């Protein structure tokens, strides 16, 4: 039985602003070029928890969170522009919410994403238990094939 060739039209790359997450980009770019696919870069901005908003406002932190929100949008524009300058068909999305894996999975479903390419942070043991794993959450909540890029351990310790 011959395997049906797999073709990708839309490839999603979730980014969190770290060098770790950006390690997925070259892999996604290569796949996008091989398949003449559209690349979608995504960043999920996590706002302050609603129960802390009044206290943050009193402490003058509301303005700081707005600056972080603007920085997230600026970061995405820079990443998109760099790839467009390399001739990549790419768009950028900045979503906002608390359930990062859920937002990524919902976006992938609604936007007919064919492949997700994302980096793991390489955490293990207690760090993974405390911080969880966005990649694991995406894989648990989403039926879209997901390519995980594991950071080089030597590089990971440098960040």
Lowest average pLDDT, out of 7-11, 61-65, 66-70, goes to 61-65
Lowest average pLDDT, out of 10-19, 34-43, 51-60, 109-118, goes to 51-60
Which tens digit of pLDDT belongs to each residue from 31-60? 999 999 999 999 999 876 655 555 555 555
Per DSSP, helices labelled H in 36-152 are 53-58, 62-85, 100-110, 125-131, 134-141
DSSP string, 12-23: EEEE-SSHHHHT
Structural domains in the chain, sorted by start = 10-158 (3.40.50.620)
How many angstroms from the chain centroid is the CA of residue 99? 13
Would you say 100 and 137 are in contact if contact means Cβ atoms under 8 Å apart? yes
Whose CA is closest to 14, among 108, 90, 117, 158? 117
């Amino acid at each position: 039985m011959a395997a049906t060739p797999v073709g990708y039209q839309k490839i999603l790359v979730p980014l969190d602003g770290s060098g770790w997450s950006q390690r997925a980009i070259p892999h996604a770019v290569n796949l996008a070029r091989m398949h003449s696919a559209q690349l979608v870069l995504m960043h999920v901005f996590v706002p302050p928890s609603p129960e802390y908003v009044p206290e943050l406002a009193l402490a003058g932190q509301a303005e700081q969170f707005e600056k972080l929100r603007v920085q997230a949008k600026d970061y995405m524009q820079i990443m998109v522009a760099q790839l467009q300058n390399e001739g990549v068909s790419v768009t950028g999305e900045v979503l906002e919410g608390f359930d990062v894996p859920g937002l990524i999975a919902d976006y992938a479903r609604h936007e007919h994403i064919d492949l997700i390419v994302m980096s793991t942070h390489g955490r293990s043991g207690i760090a993974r238990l405390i911080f969880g794993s966005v990649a694991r959450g995406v894989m648990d909540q989403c039926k879209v094939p997901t390519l995980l890029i594991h950071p080089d351990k030597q590089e990971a310790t440098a960040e």
